[in-house]
Amino acid sequence: MAKEKPTILVVNDDGITAPGIKVLLEEMQKLGNVVVVAPDAPQSGMGHAITIGKPLRLDKIDLYEGVEMYKCSGTPVDCVKLAVDRIFKDKKPDLCVSGINHGLNYSINVLYSGTMSAAVEGAIEGIPSIGFSLDDFSHNADFTHTRPYVLSIAEQVLNNGLPKGTLLNVNFPHIEKGIVGIKICRQANGNWIEEFEYRVDPHHRDYFWMTGRYDWVDRGEDTDVFAINNGYASVVPTQFDMTAHHAIPELNSWSFDVK
Amino acid sequence: MAKEKPTILVVNDDGITAPGIKVLLEEMQKLGNVVVVAPDAPQSGMGHAITIGKPLRLDKIDLYEGVEMYKCSGTPVDCVKLAVDRIFKDKKPDLCVSGINHGLNYSINVLYSGTMSAAVEGAIEGIPSIGFSLDDFSHNADFTHTRPYVLSIAEQVLNNGLPKGTLLNVNFPHIEKGIVGIKICRQANGNWIEEFEYRVDPHHRDYFWMTGRYDWVDRGEDTDVFAINNGYASVVPTQFDMTAHHAIPELNSWSFDVK
């Protein structure tokens, strides 16, 4: 008896018309039955935000021939939640892939990224999940070199599953650098140094634009930043248990003086 | 020589007029010089979202006498970033406290919570940080019983610091239950089962409201959910390294067949 084709949920944070999600859904069509649920507008930097104070729209659209697609008014995480409850209903998809993001989501960016948060939400739902991102912010980013890697990594996850409570954060170098191989990594320590740009609007009121630079403090050769800088596709197994288990004994030694 | 009073950044996600932040800033005034930077409107469920596609407003306001306060048009994480760059400038605060949230942020809610994400952002900035939340969603929640615990926990963090790369996620039982003590815990495994409510608007278009129920799968007595259910204030050391370090060897055993 032939094995049933897997069902694959495709999401992103750049919005349903972004070129990156088209590349991702095309590769996933080689592996299974694809359902796309993506924001109707860009949602970069939305992190793990959910929409609780206002209602959500979910509308079926025909963007690419033969692909089941829905646009959603909410965040990337909303897309996954709506897909699981209202589209897949009783049967969860076999795989959830998010991206391919226009821009890197390595190091601390895993927290700010809507792309990664959608994949995290997939994993919370118990679905094997992967977030893909490319080192190219432009709308016309060239994803050609990522295609065989996206396919291979997704295939491995479908075949092997993922350790309980984990997902994958995959980043690719820019096409001009090419890809020399895959490196399993840890998330590099690093953070953004904010430099808000001050302006005055035509009504004489102050405002600020968020800008900043990434401070690469962690030069470890086992990090995702090192991998990308050296031409590798970085794969970081990522978890949503945020407990700092190693800190529990120290905290237990504190004495709280509650009056 | 007298020790200089510490500087304390107070943020939240319920908005600058929420009663919870007033309780928090009052307690912090007992420990140091307080600066409040909070959203100008409720931002619950915003997770680690940041505002990159539109400008931000930051305005000084006089809400409570003698307290330096700013309202911000952005997310809780934006508040911390703006505070560090534009208010504190070269000298980071000695402590960042977030809350007190109207509603629990235990278990998986650490990811969705704007309160906790603000504290996480503080920790990323290298500031000892704590998020506080109460098991009471109502605007008129009674925080009286939490006051001595908030003070004691903040005092301990000011005195001892926190292990590198960690912050604290503190949750309190409802006032009707009282607080029997403090329990250092891990984040309970659990997730929300979505149940989107379907409606039709006056223009005959579909929409959905996010609803759901928390699925408490992890009955471990070392979890934050167990602690709250048994009348303890739960304290979870939390980290922003999301690497699933234990999964790295398994992934290294995979063979990627890239064509």
Q: Given the structure tokens 């295609």, which residue do they identify?
A: A147
A207 belongs to a structural domain: no
Would the CB atoms of B258 and A182 count as touching at under 8 Å?
A: yes
A30-60, pLDDT tens digit by residue? Answer: 999 999 999 999 999 999 999 998 999 999 9
Establish if A202 touches chain B: CB-CB under 8 angstroms.
no
% pLDDT > 70, chain A = 99
B205 belongs to a structural domain: no
Q: How many CB atoms lie within 10 A of CB A206?
A: 14
B192 belongs to a structural domain: no
User: What's the domain range around A24?
Assistant: 7-187+221-252
Angle between helix A147-160 and helix A19-29 axes, rounded to 10 deg: 50
Cβ(A140)–Cβ(A116) below 8 Å:
no
The whole-chain average pLDDT of chain B stands at: 96
B52 belongs to a structural domain: yes
The whole-number pLDDT of residue A89 equals 92
Nearest-CA distance from B196 to chain A in Å?
Answer: 7
A258 belongs to a structural domain: no
Bridge partners (DSSP) of residue B175 are none
Cβ(B127)–Cβ(B79) below 8 Å:
no
Would the CB atoms of B56 and A84 count as touching at under 8 Å?
A: no
pLDDT bracket for residue B10 (50, 70, 90): very high
Number of structural domains (chain B) is: 1
Cβ(B44)–Cβ(B15) below 8 Å:
no
The SS3 assignment for A30 reads coil
A222 in a known ligand binding site:
no
pLDDT beyond 90 at B2 = no
Establish if A241 touches chain B: CB-CB under 8 angstroms.
yes
B203-257, pLDDT tens digit by residue? Answer: 999 999 999 999 998 999 999 999 999 999 999 999 999 999 999 999 999 988 8
Cα angle A7, A149, A93 (rounded to 5 degrees) comes to 15
Alpha helices for chain A (secondary structure H): 19-29, 76-82, 109-112, 114-124, 147-160, 224-229, 248-252
pLDDT bracket for residue A4 (50, 70, 90): confident
What whole-number distance in Å separates Cα of residue A8 and Cα of residue A34? 5
What whole-number distance in Å separates Cα of residue B174 and Cα of residue A97? 39
Would the CB atoms of B111 and A120 count as touching at under 8 Å?
A: yes
B41 belongs to a structural domain: yes
Residue B176 contacts by C-beta under 8 Å, 6 or more apart in sequence? none
Listed by number, the residues of chain B in 127-166 with a beta carbon closer than 8 Å to a beta carbon of chain A are 148-149, 151-153, 155-156, 160, 162-163, 165-166
The whole-number pLDDT of residue A10 equals 98
Mean pLDDT of B46-73: 96
Q: Which of A193, A191, A183, A194 is nearest to A229 (CA)?
A: A183
Of B209, B241, B258, nearest to A148 by CB-CB distance is: B258
B36 belongs to a structural domain: yes
Would the CB atoms of B242 and A45 count as touching at under 8 Å?
A: no
Q: Is the peptide bond before A182 cis (omega within 30 degrees of 0)?
A: no
Would the CB atoms of A81 and B252 count as touching at under 8 Å?
A: no
The whole-chain average pLDDT of chain A stands at: 96
The CA distances from residue B88 to B21, B35, B83, B129, in Å, are: 20, 9, 6, 16
B206 belongs to a structural domain: no
CA torsion through residues A154, A158, A163, A164, sign = positive
Q: Is A154 left (phi over 0), alpha (psi -120 to 50) or beta?
A: alpha
CATH of the domain at B86: 3.40.1210.10
A44 in a known ligand binding site:
yes
